[in-house]
Amino acid sequence: MLNRRQLLQRLLQMASGILPLSGIRLLHPSTLWAAVKKRIVSATTDPQTLRNANPKYLDTRQLPVMPLEAFGTMGDEKTKFDPQNWRLTIDGAVERPQSLSYAGLLKRPEIIRNVLLICPGVFVNHGRWHGVSLGDLLKRSVPAKTAKWVVIHAESATQVSEERFAIEEVTADLVFLATGVNGQPLPEKHGYPLRVVAEGHYGYTWAKYVRRIEVR
């Protein structure tokens, strides 16, 4: 049986024509990101009025960052994290697989970017996310020339999931790995220690509790 998140994702894909009734993707949204004309969202816009919008079509550079206490979230708050033993694995179609510690990730050059998260029909978060470039990590691993996808594997106390993004989006830093938000370490309920930030994608693809990056 599909959980709430999976059902929401399936309905949106069918409604947009991305997913036919057979369940086969005809066109992944990430293939369209570069050609989209976006609507400018003014600084006075109430973010919650955007909860039925598609983030792919929104330019939110003028929108103020929301306070963290105003963020909505769906997910697990009981996922255990041991910083001494936790590792982020990067493998798949790469020449140099990696196993990175949390402390090692925090020492890497930091990305800071304001990005809108929309959980369609439910809530909107506009935060200042900070973390590390997944594109730079991939370069160190040297993906195969035939690689097309970056698959994010995540695991919480109650759920194992995966999301995939076009490798071009990752190397352009439109998809990166967040370790914090609004100047604070990433809260547990928002995916601590590591979650995806995916500009132009619905929030259900922003995988939380990331453990592995697989190149295909």
Burial of residue 121 (number of CB atoms within 10 Å: 0-12, 13-18, 19+): exposed
192 has a pLDDT exceeding 80 = yes
User: What is the pLDDT, as a whole number, of residue 75?
Assistant: 72
Q: How far apart are CA 80 and CA 67, in angstroms?
A: 26
Q: How far apart are CA 213 and CA 153, in angstroms?
A: 6
User: What is the pLDDT, as a whole number, of residue 17?
Assistant: 41
User: What is the pLDDT, as a whole number, of residue 31?
Assistant: 43
Q: β-strands 39-40, 58-59: how paired? A: parallel
Q: Which residues are 101's β-sheet partners?
A: 87
105 has a pLDDT exceeding 70 = yes
User: What is the pLDDT, as a whole number, of residue 76?
Assistant: 77
Query: What is the value of pTM for the model shown?
Result: 0.82
* CB 176 within 8 Å of CB 132: yes
Q: How far apart are CA 169 and CA 192, in angstroms?
A: 23
Q: How far apart are CA 95 and CA 140, in angstroms?
A: 9
116 has a pLDDT exceeding 60 = yes
Tokens 């949106």: give the residue.
12
* CB 26 within 8 Å of CB 94: no
Q: What are the pLDDT digits (tens) for 147-171?
A: 999 999 999 888 899 999 999 999 9
| Domains of the chain, CATH where assigned | 4-215 (3.90.420.10)
16 has a pLDDT exceeding 60 = no
